[in-house]
Amino acid sequence: MSADLSHLATPGAEIAVRVTPRASRNAIRRDADRIRVYVTTAPEGGKANAAVTRLLAGALGIPKSRLLLLRGHGARDKLFRVAD
């Protein structure tokens, strides 16, 4: 299950997400005030961050190179920015 987040893909937009690593499946869910990203990858060596970036970029409909991780490299709460 993956949410359509294409309406958030405007240049300069900042997107806050809460990540759950080692989930049973890759998915994106949108709650009332938060986007939750579930990835099967373990948080080792940046692999989970790469999986989150790939999954989020797909939901936004943009290349992953346009998605920048600003904050939360080692935390569950992350902030991404859509590059120009």
In a domain, 36, yes or no: yes
Query: What domain range is 68 assigned to?
Result: 6-82
- The answer as to whether 45 is a domain residue is yes
Whether 17 and 80 have beta carbons less than 8 Å apart is answered as yes
CATH number of the domain that residue 27 is part of: 3.30.1200.10
Residue 1 lies in a domain: no
Could you read off the pLDDT of 12-69 as tens digits, one per residue? 999 999 999 999 999 999 988 889 999 999 999 999 999 999 999 999 999 999 999 9
What is the count of structural domains for the chain? 1
Give a yes or no: residue 58 inside a domain.
yes
What pTM was estimated for this model as a whole?
A: 0.92
User: Does residue 30 fall inside a structural domain?
Assistant: yes
Q: Which two tokens stand for residue 56?
A: 């989020």
- Within a 13 Å sphere around the CA of 46, how many CA atoms are in the beta-carbon half? 4
